[in-house]
């Protein structure tokens, strides 16, 4: 009898584990780590006087964005097309249509900027946008010598159920010149719905059935013991 009870309990535990796994959040973003080696799932955009870089940029390349080792990342060298001494920062970025349920959308992306030549007055201004609204910005500012700066973009935003436009924009208030302009990198782009997920109805039914089976076996054991 103990064997039967143990099997039923194990089955119930397995159902609970499966239900818990199904509740884990999955990213809504397609190709957020650029594992395809290209921009599949993403759309380019530029500002009015902006460029995403000189050929071969924009491209997907290997770069140590986080400091933990090289990985696929979107690479740009953004800036103005026509220089304006006191002009605004120009450039562009990538966007993607995502579909969410109603709730809290949690977003994150790893970013980096690299300068291989002499000092530069602006490595890059990175912004995360949802439906055209800027929700987080990192301005790397000037750098005095060749090197890499790293950071991340993050936000949590209440959203309605449906389609939303997610974008990452990179700008600089200077022109883009190959070999002189800093290179900007983005990768590990994720967007998940926050809060504990509720198990699907079928999961609840399986859990209840499992508990019912354990209860029935326990009652049967008590009747046998009383006989």
- What's CA 216's distance to the chain center, in Å? 46
The reply to whether 108 and 132 lie within a common domain is yes
| Distance, CA of 110 to CA of 72 (rounded, Å) | 12
* Per-residue confidence (pLDDT) for residue 195, from 0 to 100: 59
CA dihedral 186, 191, 196, 197 (to 10 degrees): -140
Residues 17 and 114 grouped into a single domain? no
CB atoms inside a 10 Å sphere around CB 143: 19
Q: What is the pLDDT of residue 218?
A: 40
In this structure, the answer to whether residues 11 and 72 fall within a common structural domain is: no
Nearest CA to 199 out of 61, 21, 66 is that of: 21
Check whether residue 102 and residue 58 sit in a common domain: yes
Q: Which domain does 119 fall in, by range? A: 25-193
In this structure, are 76 and 130 located in the same domain? yes
How many domains, in total, are found in the chain? 2
169 & 218 share domain: no
Residues of the chain predicted below pLDDT 70: 1-24, 178-179, 195-227
Domain identity same for 57 and 12: no
- Residue 142 sits in the same domain as residue 217: no
Question: In this structure, are 128 and 53 located in the same domain?
Answer: yes
pLDDT at 212: 52
Question: Do residue 101 and residue 8 come from a single domain?
Answer: no
pLDDT tens digits for range 101-157: 999 999 999 999 999 888 888 999 999 999 999 999 999 999 888 999 999 999 999
Question: Are 37 and 100 within one domain?
Answer: yes
Number of Cβ within a 10 Å radius of residue 39 = 16
CATH of the domain at 60: 2.60.120.260
- For residues 85 and 142, membership in a common domain is answered with yes
| Predicted local confidence at residue 113, as pLDDT | 97
């Amino acid at each position: 009898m103990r064997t039967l009870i143990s099997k039923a309990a194990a089955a119930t535990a397995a159902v609970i584990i499966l239900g818990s796994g199904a509740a884990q959040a999955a990213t809504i973003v397609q190709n957020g780590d650029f594992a395809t080696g290209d921009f599949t799932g993403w759309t380019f955009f530029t500002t009015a006087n902006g460029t995403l870089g000189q050929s071969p940029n924009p491209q997907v390349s290997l770069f140590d964005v986080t400091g933990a080792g090289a990985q696929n990342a979107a690479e740009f060298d953004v800036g103005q097309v026509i220089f304006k001494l006191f002009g605004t920062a120009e450039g562009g970025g990538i966007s993607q249509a995502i579909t969410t349920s109603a709730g809290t959308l949690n977003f994150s992306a790893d970013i980096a900027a690299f300068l291989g030549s002499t000092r530069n007055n602006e490595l890059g201004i990175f912004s995360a946008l949802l439906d055209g609204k800027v929700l987080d910005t990192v301005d790397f500012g000037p750098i005095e010598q060749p090197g890499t700066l790293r950071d991340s973009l993050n936000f949590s935003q209440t959203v309605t159920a449906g389609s939303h436009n997610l974008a990452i924009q990179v700008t600089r208030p200077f022109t883009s010149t190959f070999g002189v302009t800093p290179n900007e990198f983005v990768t590990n782009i994720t967007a998940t719905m926050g809060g504990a997920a509720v198990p699907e109805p079928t999961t609840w039914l399986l859990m209840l059935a499992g508990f019912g089976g354990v209860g029935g076996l326990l009652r049967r054991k008590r009747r046998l013991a009383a006989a």
